[in-house]
Amino acid sequence: MNIQVYGSAARAGVAAAQVLAAQIIKDPFSVLGLATGSTPLPAYEALVELNKAGIIDFKTIRTFNLDEYVGISRTHEQSYHSFMHTHLFSKVNIDPQNTQLPYPSSDDPEEDCRAYDAAIDDAGGIDLQILGIGHNGHIAFNEPSDLFTYGTHIVELSKSTIEANKRFFDSADDVPQKAITMGIGTIMKAREIVLIATGQDKAQAVASMILGEIDPQCPASALLLHPQVTIFLDEDAASLLQ
């Protein structure tokens, strides 16, 4: 695990974006795994600028997002479909047909989950996966649990996650209680992983991930077993690592 600490959240985001940009330049047919939330926004802004400057081209890039709420429509303003459209897809020259987010659209959600993993496999697997981390150590919506999860699945969101995400809704009661998420196994199959964590409120989760045991109660700790992970931190998120 390679750990890099930057002076600000913006600089950590730009550094992570440079890894994504290098992947896009190296392989214009790359398959990227994408995250939502506040953390990757500086990285997405940097990618938009690099695209505008003609340095990176999204024309043949394919993307799979980590997760989506269950119980709100794709067009809901807080859906992750809307998030990705607003912050990245509408601002770069990506083909919308090449962007996928999980969504339980049939009357057999388990089949929808299997189909999502199959679509990732059919695309050749994820070359580079970008992640944030929750206060409770979740990655994607894999919440602390007794066992690591494997494939894409439907999950009940924890109180901590609902509390953290209520800032995007009118109240905690309006936050969906369920989500569809790639499993830890899906994430671990990515050939390379970039995790960004910024802010003092992420310091404990980062310390548990890096300094603790490999434990499904801290789902991000599974990354200690991945051969190609880089963690981009600002000084606040790194503050408990000494």
Active site residue 85: no
Q: Among residues 51, 67, 117, 142, which one is catalytic?
A: 67
Q: Among residues 51, 65, 98, 136, which one is catalytic?
A: 136
d(CA 112, CA 105) in angstroms, rounded, equals 7
Q: Among residues 68, 117, 143, 192, which one is catalytic?
A: 143
Pairing of strands 62-65, 99-100: parallel
Active site residue 127: no
CA-only gyration radius of the chain, Å? 17
- Minimum distance, C-beta of residue 231 to ligand F6R, in the bound complex (Å): 13
DSSP secondary structure letter of residue 89: G
Return the residue matching tokens 């059919």.
122
- Minimum distance, C-beta of residue 41 to ligand F6R, in the bound complex (Å): 8
Q: Which residues lie near ligand F6R (CB under 6 A)?
A: 35-39, 66-67, 132-134, 138-140
Active site residue 201: no
Cβ-based nearer residue to ligand F6R, 30 or 136? 136
- Minimum distance, C-beta of residue 27 to ligand F6R, in the bound complex (Å): 23
Residue 199 in contact with residue 234, Cβ under 8 Å?
Answer: yes
Q: CA angle 99-105-108, nearest 5°?
A: 125
Active site residue 143: yes
Cβ-based nearer residue to ligand F6R, 10 or 57? 10
- Minimum distance, C-beta of residue 120 to ligand F6R, in the bound complex (Å): 15
Comparing CA positions, the residue from 81, 17, 19, 27 lying closest to residue 49 is 17
* Catalytic center residues: 67, 136, 138, 143
